A and B are shown apart, each in its own frame.
Chain A
Amino acid sequence: MSSLTNLTLKAALDGLKAKSFSSEEITKAHIDAIEKANPSLNAYVLPTFEHALNMARASDARLARGEGGELEGAPLGVKDLFCTEGHRTTAGSKILGDFVPQYESTVSANLWRDGAVMLGKLNMDEFAMGSSNETSAWGPVVNPWRSKASNAELTPGGSSGGSASAVAADLCLGATASDTGGSIRQPAAFTGTVGIKPTYGRCSRWGIVAFASSLDQAGPIAKTVEDAAILLKSMSGYDPKDSTSLNVDLPDFPSFVGKSVKGLRIGVPKEYRVDGMPAEIETLWRQGIEWMRAAGCEIVDISLPHTKYALPCYYVVAPAEASSNLARYDGMRYGLRADGKSLTELYENTRAEGFGNEVKRRVLIGTYVLSAGYYDAYYVRALKVRRRIAEDFEKVWGKVDAILTPSTPSAAFALGDKRVDPVTMYLNDVFTVTANLTGMPGISVPAGLDANGLPLGLQLIGKPLDEGTIFSLAGALEDAAGFRAKAEKWWA
Chain B
Amino acid sequence: MAVDVATVRRVAHLARIAEPEDRLQAIVGELNGILAWIEQLNEVDVQGVEPMTTAVEATTPLRADEVTDGGDPERILANAPKAADGFFVVPKVVE
**Interface set of A (CB-CB < 8 Å, partner B):** 98-100, 102, 199-201, 214-215, 240, 243-244, 246-247, 306, 308-309, 312-313, 315-316, 323, 327, 330-337, 340, 342-349, 351-352, 355, 360-361, 363-368, 371, 374, 377-378, 380-388, 390, 421-423, 436-439, 464
- Give the distance in Å from the alpha carbon of A15 to the alpha carbon of B1 in the complex: 61
Cβ-neighbour of B79 out of A100, A309, A364, A378 (below 8 A): A100
Using a Cβ cutoff of 8 Å, how many contacts connect chains A and B?
A: 163
Question: CB-nearest residue of chain A relative to B19?
Answer: A352
- Give the distance in Å from the alpha carbon of A15 to the alpha carbon of B6 in the complex: 64
Interface size bracket, B side: 35 or more
Question: CB-nearest residue of chain A relative to B10?
Answer: A371
Report chain A residues within 8 Å CB of B8.
364
Structural contact, A334 and B81, CB atoms closer than 8 A:
yes
Report chain B residues within 8 Å CB of A374.
1
Cβ-neighbour of B75 out of A102, A200, A315, A363 (below 8 A): A102
Report chain A residues within 8 Å CB of B63.
240
- Give the distance in Å from the alpha carbon of A378 to the alpha carbon of B1 in the complex: 10
Dominant secondary structure of chain A at its interface with chain B: helix
Cβ-neighbour of B40 out of A243, A309, A371 (below 8 A): A309
Given contact pairs A309-B41, A436-B55, a sample of 9 additional A-B residue pairs in the complex whose CB atoms are under 8 Å apart: A200-B56, A312-B41, A331-B81, A333-B76, A352-B18, A355-B17, A378-B38, A387-B50, A388-B44
Given A243-B61, A421-B33: A330 and B53 within 8 A (CB)? no
The reply to whether the CB of B84 lies closer than 8 angstroms to some CB of chain A is: no
Report chain B residues within 8 Å CB of A360.
17, 19
- Give the distance in Å from the alpha carbon of A306 to the alpha carbon of B44 in the complex: 8
Question: CB-nearest residue of chain B relative to A247?
Answer: B61
Structural contact, B81 and A336, CB atoms closer than 8 A:
yes
Structural contact, A214 and B55, CB atoms closer than 8 A:
yes
Chain B, residues 37-61, CB within 8 Å of chain A (1/0): the string is 1111111101001111111101011
Structural contact, B40 and A384, CB atoms closer than 8 A:
no
Structural contact, B44 and A309, CB atoms closer than 8 A:
yes
Question: Nearest Cβ distance between residue B19 and chain A, in whole angstroms?
Answer: 7
Q: Can you list 23 pairs linking A and B with CB atoms under 8 Å apart?
A: A100-B78, A244-B54, A309-B41, A312-B37, A315-B38, A316-B38, A335-B79, A335-B81, A349-B18, A361-B30, A364-B15, A364-B27, A367-B15, A368-B35, A378-B38, A383-B53, A384-B51, A387-B50, A387-B52, A390-B52, A422-B33, A423-B37, A464-B56
